[in-house]
Amino acid sequence: MLVNLEINRKNLEKNLGKIRSINKNIICVIKDNAYGLGIENIFPILLENSCNYFAVAYIEEAIKIREILKNFEKEKKLDFLKNRQIKIMALNYIEPENFKYVIENNVEVTVFNFLQLYDYLKILDKSFENTALKIHIKVNSGMNRLGFNESEILKLIEVIKKYEKNHKNNKLEIISIFSHVSDAENQIETETQVEKYEKIIKIFDKSDVKYQYKHLQASPLLFKYKEKYNYDFARVGMALYGMEPLSYDTGLADVITVKSQIINIRNVKKNDKISYGSKGIVKRDSKIGIVSVGYAHGFQKQIENSLQAYVLVNGKKAKIIGEICMDMIFVDLTDIENVKVNDEVVIIGSQKNIENEITEKITLRQVAKWAGTIQDDVLTKFSAIKKQ
């Protein structure tokens, strides 16, 4: 593949340090294949930086982590893992048919409604003995996505107590009560949601149900309010990968660079059409470069609607013109000298110019703006690109 994505390990570590300076206890969120960067690339870096707690979306991702750990052990790369317990929490829905993998791989599951809880307990009792199911209870503080409502908490407590009383054989271990804040930059909304969370916590605290931890922060809440809502953990994803969690810059370091190359150069006349359809009419006699990147690589088609979008060639801006194709784009090289086929093109990141200086940079946030979307959406869509 002519497109590749480079992961800057040093900058990832820098971001980790910045996050830890606010909350030293973090659950590293590596869901959805580490936001598209590859669990196999990101997990070892975090592991080597003393991270012990990880959050995934799916059971397959938890299994993958356990496999990586087993291979580490086999290859005796393992000294730094001695006396460390690596915990995995699943944030998304684990279907009952995958329940056995939960137990086999020591995965802590998120429980967010009664149906799911009943299903899990039924399978636990039917197929296991002397086994603990570790759960994180998700409560709804206002996002209305997953989680028990405040009005359901007393019933939930009853269900848990009843289970504890009647099942000496298997155990329900409540690792945490947690929630997710949906609008961190809106202070009134955030405070309302935090209050709701606190209120639910109080109901648990008044009962005999025991749980270990509380956690609320994701990247936006962490960076907006700093230590204020630290609780026991911060669950952090985007900030690790260098995505700015707030509307203003917090100084996170860029972690990814996406590069491709020019595969063809041609001269066209003023008013000639380029690419599919009739959007791409050149306004002057032009030198056009064809770059091997397109929507199949995750470079979103919608970017063609922005008149601002560009890539970097010889460290200079080369505007994208015409429709974005499956694996190619057209860029304007008219004002850039000394360009040849095979030259490197930077899609995200920075590039030296012919004076060996860096004057231009394309951020994930910039590309997201061109595409009319958010950084996470741009990043996760690069999932299929080769990483190095």
Give the footprint of ligand PLP on this chain (CB under 6 A): 29, 31, 91, 180, 218-220, 235-239, 245
Nearer to ligand PLP, 45 or 274 (CB): 45
Nearer to ligand PLP, 91 or 256 (CB): 91
Rounded to a whole number of angstroms, the minimum distance from the CB of residue 376 to ligand PLP is 7
Rounded to a whole number of angstroms, the minimum distance from the CB of residue 287 to ligand PLP is 41
How far is the CA of 322 from the CAs of 246, 269, 291, 334, in angstroms?
A: 32, 15, 13, 15
Q: How many CB atoms lie within 10 A of CB 18?
A: 17
**Residues of the chain by 3-state class (helix, strand, coil), percent to 5:** 35, 25, 40
In the structure encoding, which two tokens stand for residue 40, read together? Answer: 């196999």
Rounded to a whole number of angstroms, the minimum distance from the CB of residue 39 to ligand PLP is 14
Nearer to ligand PLP, 3 or 62 (CB): 62
Q: How many CB atoms lie within 10 A of CB 377?
A: 16
Nearer to ligand PLP, 244 or 304 (CB): 244
Q: Which long-range contacts (CB under 8 A, 24 or more apart) does 203-212 make?
A: 203/150, 203/153, 203/154, 203/157, 204/153, 204/157, 204/177, 207/157, 207/161, 208/161, 209/157, 209/160, 209/161, 209/174, 210/174, 211/137, 211/174, 211/175, 211/176, 211/177, 212/174, 212/175, 212/176
47, 34 in Cβ contact below 8 A?
Answer: no
Which single residue brings its beta carbon nearest to ligand PLP?
A: 237
Rounded to a whole number of angstroms, the minimum distance from the CB of residue 98 to ligand PLP is 19
Rounded to a whole number of angstroms, the minimum distance from the CB of residue 121 to ligand PLP is 23
Nearer to ligand PLP, 243 or 318 (CB): 243
Rounded to a whole number of angstroms, the minimum distance from the CB of residue 265 to ligand PLP is 40
Q: How far apart are CA 239 and CA 276, in angstroms?
A: 38
Rounded to a whole number of angstroms, the minimum distance from the CB of residue 285 to ligand PLP is 46
Nearer to ligand PLP, 51 or 218 (CB): 218
Q: How many CB atoms lie within 10 A of CB 375?
A: 22
- Which residue, among 209, 124, 199, 147, has the nearest Cα to 174 in the 3D structure? 209
Nearer to ligand PLP, 197 or 310 (CB): 197
